[in-house]
Structure 1
Amino acid sequence: MKKAMLTSALAATAAARSMPHFKRQSNSSTVQGFDVSGYQPNVNWDAAYNGGLRFVYIKATQSTDYTNPDFSSQYEGATNAGFIRGAYHFADGTVSASAQVSYFAQNGGGWSSDGITLPGMLDLEGDCIGVDWIQEFSDGYYNMYGVYPVLYSSPSWWEQCTGNSNAFVNTNPLFMACYDSTPCTPQGGWPYFTFWQYADSNTYGGDSDLFNGDYSQLQTLATNG
């Protein structure tokens, strides 16, 4: 997730961009969404929903010493507007994974089987983090909630930092970052991506995302993990 404030020029570019098209085995339906952080404190949630977006990931925490000061108001706004929503944690490989998953859980990253809460997402970008660290965070989250976190990364980061590990294919949904009009080949042996971040801007703020399935499948993810 980009840390810098998005400019109005970027937002205008995103608005003009046509939506990407792709096919997945046995499923070509998609749901539009976006992700935001503390750099977008004043999202017009009703406008975003009326504009066709249906899910959002909101940054909650980073490492063990940062909590998004706008998270609660953003989460409440998204909920009131009707979004399926979830929280994400920006990983810091220099600090214990167990400590970070606890910090995330204590500051908005929890999950419940209510049909509107997406499993927490682990944001993996920037400095490399190894497979063992990711596994510790993933297992810690699972032990708390009975679901595995969504893993966000670009194909290039995953290949460089994990050696293109396939350790998470059977447990964790993939949130693939690939800024193009067509999706990249999913990294790490995943047969498909669950979410795709296809642009680093959005008309309503943040980044533009797709869920690789229809709305009922998105609800299932928010119900069963």
Structure 2
Amino acid sequence: MRRPFGKSHRRSRLPSRPRRTPALLAALITAATLATGAAHAAPENPRSAPMLDPHDPNGAWAGYSLPGSRSGAPPQQPAGALSGMDVSGHQGDVDWPAAWAAGARFAYVKATEGSGFRSGSFNQQYDGSHAVGMVRGAYHFGLPDRSSGAQQANFFVDNGGGWNDGGRTLPGALDIETNPYGDPCYGLDPRAMSDWIADFSNTYLNRTGRFPVIYTTTRWWNGCTGSNPDFAANNPLWIARYAPQIGDLPAGWDFQSIWQHSDQGPLPGGQDSFNGNSKQLRRFAS
């Protein structure tokens, strides 16, 4: 089995400019939809029917744009893969001893969104997962149309998204996927999107000594970055796909570090699988 964290984590140059491939465009969400979103009650499943309200106190969360979990065959995880989870303010206070008993050995916790939102559930979730013995990390929901990648990376690190070399903290993750508040690619062409991600990634590297994990979907990445393969050499992949098989990966990556395969299961929030054993997970966090 390959190491789950891919190629070297050496300091590298900024990712090169991507090919000028057109972005995968989808219909714009109208201003009227955004204006009325706050009047609707939060859906039971924010992933399949997100509240498109920029003032939602919980903000967007990893996997919100994916369809609900499919029934049928369970995901075909690698032998020895570890189970984990990801949570945000939508889960509120988590019963971490129960999550550990259900098999979770790692967790990603939402810390921030954009350059002004910090999850009110972060402390309970981040500290609680650590207290029961999990390897845990923080993630940031990127909003590239609001501020620069550097500004958001700094905001993330300053509000819980840092990293330390103790074997118990996963590198911070950038959740970059379909915009819940407007144009799917945030109004950016592939070159501008790739530059924004590079700005975030390199700023995080300079602040922490680690490249951030990238959480995304294959369809969004290939469309909105123009199938840019340049991040795969340094940024571990956290792929979101709700199906029994992982399917095609985003351009450049030939394996994933983490697979979010469902939003329903024995654990709160997203259901994740680490592509390795407990020893490899500790090395990934070190």
Question: Quick check: TM above 0.5?
Answer: yes
Equivalent in the alignment of 2:161: 109
Residue 214 (str. 1) matches residue 274 (str. 2): no
State how 1:27-176 maps to structure 2 within 5 Å: 28-94=79-145, 95-126=147-178, 127-128=184-185, 130-176=193-239
Q: Output one character per residue of 1:185-217: Cα deviation in whole Å (capped at 9) or x when no partner.
A: 211121101110101223231111100111110
- Contact 1:43/1:204, CA 8 A, preserved across alignment: no
Equivalent in the alignment of 2:240: 177
Cα offset for 1:17? 6.8
Q: Distance in 2 between matches of 1:217 and 1:50?
A: 21
Greater helix percent: which structure?
1
Cα offset for 1:51? 1.0
Equivalent in the alignment of 2:256: 193
Secondary structure of 1:142 counterpart: helix
Greater strand percent: which structure?
1
- Contact 2:104/2:267, CA 8 A, preserved across alignment: no
Secondary structure of 1:59 counterpart: strand
One-letter code aligned to 2:213 = V
Q: Output one character per residue of 1:97-135: Cα deviation in whole Å (capped at 9) or x when no partner.
A: 111011000100000011010000000111326110000
- Contact 1:6/1:205, CA 8 A, preserved across alignment: no
Secondary structure of 2:211 counterpart: coil
Query: Please, what TM-score do these two structures have when normalized by structure 1?
Result: 0.88
Q: Distance in 2 between matches of 1:71 and 1:4?
A: 22
- Contact 1:6/1:206, CA 8 A, preserved across alignment: no
Q: Who wins on radius of gyration, i.e. which is larger?
A: 2
Equivalent in the alignment of 2:65: none
Q: Alignment length, in residue pairs? A: 211
- Contact 1:34/1:202, CA 8 A, preserved across alignment: no
Distance verdict in 2 for CA 1:75–1:63, change over 3 Å: same
- 5+ long unaligned stretches in structure 2: 1-41, 47-67, 179-183
Cα offset for 1:178? 0.6
Dislocated runs of 4+, deviation >6 Å: none
One-letter code aligned to 1:41 = G
Q: Distance in 1 between matches of 2:210 and 2:254?
A: 20
RMSD, aligned α-carbons:
1.9
Q: Distance in 1 between matches of 2:265 and 2:43?
A: 14
User: Which of 73, 76, 81 is the aligned partner of 1:21?
Assistant: 76
- 5+ long unaligned stretches in structure 1: 8-12
- Contact 2:102/2:266, CA 8 A, preserved across alignment: no
